[in-house]
Amino acid sequence: MSTKRTSTTTPAAESAAQPLRLTVFGTGYLGATHAVAMAELGFDVIGVDVDQAKVDALAAGKVPFFEPGLPELLEKNLQTGRLRFTTDAASAVAGADVHFVCVGTPQQRTSHAANLAFVEAATSVIAQNLTQDAVIVGKSTVPVGTAARLRELVAGLVPAGVQAELIWNPEFLREGKAVDDTLHPDRIVLGGASAKAEAVMRAVYAGPIAEGSPVVVTDLPTAELVKVSANAFLATKISFINAIAGVCEAAGADVTVLADALGHDSRIGRQFLDAGLGFGGGCLPKDIRALMHRANELGAHRAGALLQQVDEINMGQRERVVDMALEACGGSVLNKRVGVLGAAFKPLTDDVRDSPALNVAAALHLRGAQVTVYDPEAGDTARRAFPTLGYGVSVEEAVEECDVLLVLTEWDQFVGADPQRLAALARTPRVIDARGKLAAAEWRAAGWEFTGLGRLAA
């Protein structure tokens, strides 16, 4: 059974003879952020990766992705000497006390199941190279049951005379807010930890715990399920309001006002109730599909069926926005100029993995539209992923001479743009607000033909 324990005092780290030394395996989005944050909390940290170019970039103070606040903390902690990066796993593991596994778990190419090859490889390398007793901490998002299997793997690989305990400590990072989420987490989950391992982890997270971050101590399966269940719930909430948006359109109601009214109910809340293009990115889509796959494996078919519907509703929103663009252009976008504001799957990131915005832009391009995409941070990553699309360097360039404008990522500069000034640039001032963030009355007053998902017609 899960138990919840909270602490507002600095834990048993005070009894340690010397500061804990940490390694972080994997220096992608999760790993790089975690390594920097752990150094910021005062630990000596070595980030380990098999990609020499990634290691060299981080060692030079360059973050290979956009995340507010991370470059400054990276540079600061490199200068203090508390943080370094290497491809030499053996030397990094030797002498360290806690080893975090932060590698990716992408979806398998042939199914919805998670690919655990990177997690297994990192865990094996750590176990084989241990020179002293240590705690191996899984942070990667994995299917339930993975940690128990990894424990067996570790037991067969650790050198004689060395004790290693594998526990699970899931991550809850939000892109765009990852630094704050790591330094000031809203909860710390420890799965499968003995009293000794729990004391070590309370020492690692002494700062956040002292600030009031609650610690949830539980078993391995529960810890593995927390992250994917949280993502599944958020995805379900998004798909729910998008399904209701369809009802609003049919009934002549306004989903934004409806969502505001629902949000006043403390049991529901307003967050993630914005009807629109739906969710994307590197976590929610793959995580709900992996959970769907695992639930069906375990015979929990109701959960699998629910998540299937959530996924279908979400993907249907992209098709709906494409249809709205076609309708706005008289049934065809062939040789029409389409302006697209947004490429990242959400604001405050340059992540375009499974981006609904780029999915819609590419679909219109395939139908013969002349598409110009602008995103303040994701232009380069979008160009690498979809090189056949056109890209602008400003909002104005995307809007210029467009037959229809699509707002597909809710960056502040798009939401706060001057509709009067932009109307003068468009060939035909038509706008589709696919994120439900524009002030419809202001855009209509400025001369725009305005449509949105679940929004009242003019």
Per annotation, catalytic residue among 102, 283, 329, 402: 283
* CA pair distance 301, 72, nearest whole angstrom: 46
Q: Is the Cβ–Cβ distance between 345 and 281 less than 8 Å? A: yes
Give the span between the Cα atoms of 154 and 213, in whole angstroms: 30
The residue with tokens 């993907």 is: 315
In angstroms, the CA 273 to CA 279 distance is 12
H or E element, residue 390: strand 390-391
Any catalytic annotation for residue 283? yes
> CA 76 to CA 400: how far, in whole Å?
42
Decide: 231 and 283 in contact? Cβ < 8 Å.
yes
The answer for residues whose C-beta is within 8 angstroms of residue 34's C-beta and 6 or more apart is: 24, 100, 102, 139, 171, 182
Say which amino acid occupies 252: G
How far apart are the C-alpha atoms of 172 and 425, rounded to whole Å? 42
C-alpha 195/C-alpha 204 separation (Å) is 14
Quickly count helices (H) and strands (E) in the chain: 19, 15
Task: Give me the active site residues, please.
Answer: 283
